[in-house]
Amino acid sequence: MKRFKRYFKKVEKLIMRPEMKVLPGQLAFFLILSIFPVFTLLGYIGSKFSLFSSSFLAVIKEVIPSNFLEVILPFVTDSQLTGNTLVVMILGFILASNGTHSLIVTSNELYHLPYADYIKRRIKAFLMTILFLMLFIFIFIVLAYGNVIVSWILDIKTLAAFHDQIYYFFLILKWPVAFFLIFIVLKYIYTVAPDARIPSKFMNAGALFATIGIILITLGYSLYVNYFSNYTLFYGSISGIIMLMIWVYLISFVLSLGIAINSTVYANYKEILNKKEKNEDNS
């Protein structure tokens, strides 16, 4: 029990550091900022394969807050990918990588590591941003709005006869599959974030905590979307956007806590290792 309390105090001490207080907000802000270049790219790909039919857009209107949809819909439906649009899209991704760059900097500070070359850090941050976005889109589509989207897909005539069976199969599988994928991706992100090689076995605790936290937060958000999305008492028509931003922030906060947990596990390991070395020297 004392060991657990000592461990908890170490994590709490890390959380109170200035960079840890700033990191969740930065991650959330730049994740939301990166949505626009992503939707521009999806809109271009969708137009080439005729993915965005009127019925599909009707489903999109059901699952995305209307105020937010009014902003992003032009990016999705515009099939023109001009040189200017491409440049803006690339700049958007680069700007969005500031969030993952902050994650790299925070990891270096918590692990007490020297910084790598700035260009290498920015390239790594850019690649991590793409990975983060893929994870974010997966969580958004499969966990938050998966029930609605799958239900729409199963309404197609050729699948209507198997609607109930496939739908319940999806409900059973989505959480364990999501848990596995989120855990693997987060463990990889936590491993590559520091500018020095730290064995991935020290990332299990933080990745597990963040995975469970993300799933619980998304489950709560999904319940809100399905049952309580008409609560507009405080924010009126923009309540959907507010809830979406809170959801992204909470996910970013949990991701930041995962770093603190991992660095504490690693610090404890080094502390035990140093004690063993001292004992061996003394003997």
pLDDT tens, residue by residue, 16-36 = 777 778 888 888 888 777 776
DSSP string, 5-53: HHHHHHHHHHHTSHHHHHHHHHHHHHHHHTHHHHHHHHHHHHHHTT---
Which of 50-64, 82-96, 204-218, 228-242 has the weakest average pLDDT? 50-64
160 or 217: which carries more pLDDT confidence? 217
Three-state SS annotation for 99-116: HHHHHHHHHHHHHCCCCC
pTM of this structure: 0.76
Gap between the Cα atoms of 110 and 11, Å rounded: 11
Gap between the Cα atoms of 176 and 143, Å rounded: 11
Could you read off the pLDDT of 151-192 as tens digits, one per residue? 666 665 555 565 666 677 777 788 888 899 999 999 999 999
pLDDT of residue 109 exceeding 80, the answer is yes
Widest distance between CA atoms in the chain:
78
Contact (CB, 8 A) for 203 and 187: yes
Split at pLDDT 50, 70, 90, the class of 230 is low
pLDDT of residue 48 exceeding 60, the answer is no
pLDDT of residue 83 exceeding 70, the answer is no
Name the percent of the chain lying above pLDDT 90: 11
